[in-house]
């Protein structure tokens, strides 16, 4: 019988355990140990080696009495036995026990104090502990941290590699979540994002049980207390579009929605930095300073970052505290949303840059979660691939998709929320032929949607997808609003659009018969 609590307590009680170090101490440790370099901006830069993105095929949930009848098992939520988990847990603890130093951070997930999760993160690398300190919510003092009794503990040992033949994994890498024990076990990968996303998956399991909607979205709020949510997968623009100097940033990636409104799950932001520029994204650019962590960004001998260099990966990242954004909302809570934006990076180049959705269409597109998986966000992805990610976040949803969709539908109705679909992908042709949507145009359209100004304009219905497209948007060329007009050949556009519509229909067949009405009302009858 494995006593998980005793093993971890013995480990973190050792003299070599470094508890709740400050940012300066963690930077100093990382530099001393050769884990990273300081850049000219003051940010700490680290390289994650072989794994520069998540490893979804190596992620498992322990099948036990708690999870067996609740988790939506399948390719995303792969089951693994308690025996395999216990054996690996002991090996990882023994591995960390032999290290000269380990690093512990105590904090929280969830800015709403009534539903927040108490966390402990145990790291082999000091820069990983700095990442955890950056991305999770930090206690006000070391004394407060000492009083935290963790409900979930992350144990991360990148240098420990499993033996699949002996340990029952698929590769030397593993990310295993035990909902019963409150433990997340990570090994064989230096990609820090695994810690962040594992806790998000846990929150997606726990919050709906408390009748709280969990969401893979960014959020901001205007001076009139109007709240906007931005749903979308990595690379679709959540971080960029939510970091609006005219609005306060609630958070860039993970949120909950309860009876009081919206709250951030995290204490930091995790932005893609490929092609980052001060001109296009000044808020993010300026946020990358001392206290931030850069992942896989190429730097020169003087430590100057080259954000245009994707030679290590296209999935270059910056993790920075929410406070690094000048107009961040602290504490990161706000009222109920007025507007929801679904973001998709359409590699087919056939969806309009913005369209207004009915409640039924919103339910349909939320369950569909169409986008393009962009290069570098996962191993093996080297160019955009059209994918359907349920609820714009299926890799992180332990429960059945309809749990989240039904909650969203009820909230849209209850609070009279306007919903828009925004294509931040390609226009004028598919990927390789057309070009990426101009960010300045997207910003203009989104701002007018959030302000309610777009509602005052006239709309036309797209004949293929049934979407309502505005005929004009101030500051945006009218000819790009209807994507058919941007293609050299309207016949080629129609062919590609019908092909995408068929992909939507085929994807929706995976849902049970109760979803047929959603499909029909959303304009995609099965």
Question: Catalytic residue positions?
Answer: 54, 197, 216, 234, 238-239, 253, 317
Contact 27, 38 (CB under 8 A): yes
Contact 155, 186 (CB under 8 A): yes
Give one word for 349, left, alpha or beta, with left for phi > 0 and alpha for psi -120 to 50: left
Q: Which of 38, 177, 162, 140 is nearest to 92 (CA)?
A: 162
Return the beta strands (E) in 181-290 as ranges: 183-187, 213-221, 227-231, 248-251, 254-258, 261-264, 268-272
Q: Which of 53, 93, 106, 89 is nearest to 176 (CA)?
A: 89
CA atoms within 13 A on the CB side of 149: 1
Element containing residue 341 per DSSP (H, E): strand 337-344
Angle at alpha carbon of residue 23, lines to 19 and 29, rounded to 5°: 70
Residues 6+ apart with CB under 8 A from 441: 353, 475, 476, 477, 480
Please give the distance of CA 348 from its chain centroid, rounded to a whole number.
23
Both tokens of residue 160? 């420990």
- Give the Cα separation of 374 and 354 in Å (integer): 20
19 burial level (CB within 10 Å; 0-12, 13-18, 19+): middle
- Give the Cα separation of 152 and 174 in Å (integer): 18
Residues 6+ apart with CB under 8 A from 111: 137, 263, 264, 265, 267, 331, 332, 333
Buried b (16+ CB within 10 A) or exposed e, 513-522: eebeebbeeb
- Give the Cα separation of 150 and 142 in Å (integer): 15
> What single string gives the DSSP state of each residue in 429-485?
SSTTTSEEPPHHHHHHHHHHHHHTGGGGS-EEE-TTT--EEES-BTTB-GGGTSGGG
Angle at alpha carbon of residue 101, lines to 146 and 140, rounded to 5°: 25
């Amino acid at each position: 019988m494995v006593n998980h609590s005793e093993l971890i307590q013995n480990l973190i009680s050792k003299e070599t355990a470094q508890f709740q170090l400050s940012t300066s101490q963690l930077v100093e440790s990382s530099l001393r140990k050769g884990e990273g370099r300081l850049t000219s901006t003051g940010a700490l830069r680290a390289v994650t080696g072989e794994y520069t993105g998540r490893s979804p095929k190596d992620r498992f949930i322990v099948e036990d009495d708690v999870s067996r009848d609740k988790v939506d098992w399948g390719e995303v939520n792969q089951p693994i036995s308690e025996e395999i988990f216990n054996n690996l847990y002991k090996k990882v603890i023994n591995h960390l026990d032999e290290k000269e130093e380990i690093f512990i951070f105590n904090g929280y997930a969830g800015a709403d104090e009534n539903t927040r999760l108490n966390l402990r993160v145990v790291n082999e690398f000091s820069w990983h502990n700095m990442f955890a300190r950056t991305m999770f919510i930090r206690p006000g003092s070391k004394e407060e941290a000492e009083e935290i009794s963790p409900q979930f503990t992350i144990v991360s040992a990148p240098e420990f590699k499993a033996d699949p033949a002996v340990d029952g994994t698929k590769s030397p890498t593993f990310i295993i979540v035990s909902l019963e024990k409150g433990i997340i076990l990570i090994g064989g990968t230096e990609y820090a994002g695994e810690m962040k996303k594992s806790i998000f998956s846990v929150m997606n399991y726990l919050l709906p049980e408390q009748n709280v909607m969990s969401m893979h979205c960014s959020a901001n709020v205007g001076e009139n207390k109007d709240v906007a949510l931005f749903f979308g997968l990595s690379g679709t623009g959540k971080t960029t579009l939510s970091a609006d100097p005219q609005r306060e940033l609630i958070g860039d990636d993970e949120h909950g929605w309860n009876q009081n409104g919206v709250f951030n799950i995290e204490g930091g932001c995790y932005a893609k930095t490929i092609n980052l520029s001060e001109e296009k994204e000044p808020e993010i650019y300026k946020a990358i300073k001392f206290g931030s962590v850069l992942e896989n960004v190429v730097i020169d001998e003087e430590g100057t970052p080259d954000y245009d260099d994707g030679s290590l990966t296209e999935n270059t990242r910056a993790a920075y505290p929410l406070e690094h954004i000048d107009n961040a909302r602290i504490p990161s809570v706000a009222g109920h949303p007025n507007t929801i934006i679904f973001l998709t990076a359409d590699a087919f180049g056939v969806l309009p840059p913005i369209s207004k959705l009915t409640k039924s269409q919103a339910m349909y597109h939320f369950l569909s979660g169409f986008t393009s998986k962009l290069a570098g966000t996962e191993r093996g992805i080297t160019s955009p691939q059209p994918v359907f990610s349920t609820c714009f976040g299926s890799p992180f949803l332990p429960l059945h998709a309809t749990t989240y969709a039904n909650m969203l539908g009820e909230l849209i109705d209850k609070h009279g929320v306007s919903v828009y679909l925004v294509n931040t992908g390609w226009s004028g042709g598919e990927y390789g032929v057309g070009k990426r949507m101009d960010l300045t145009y997207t910003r203009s359209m989104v701002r007018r949607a959030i302000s309610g100004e777009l509602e005052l304009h006239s709309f036309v219905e797209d004949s293929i997808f049934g979407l309502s497209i505005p005929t004009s948007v101030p500051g945006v060329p009218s000819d790009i609003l209807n994507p058919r007009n941007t293609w050299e050949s309207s016949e080629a556009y129609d062919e590609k659009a019908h092909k995408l519509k068929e992909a939507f229909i085929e994807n929706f067949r995976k849902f049970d018969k109760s979803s047929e009405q959603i499909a029909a009302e959303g304009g995609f009858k099965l």
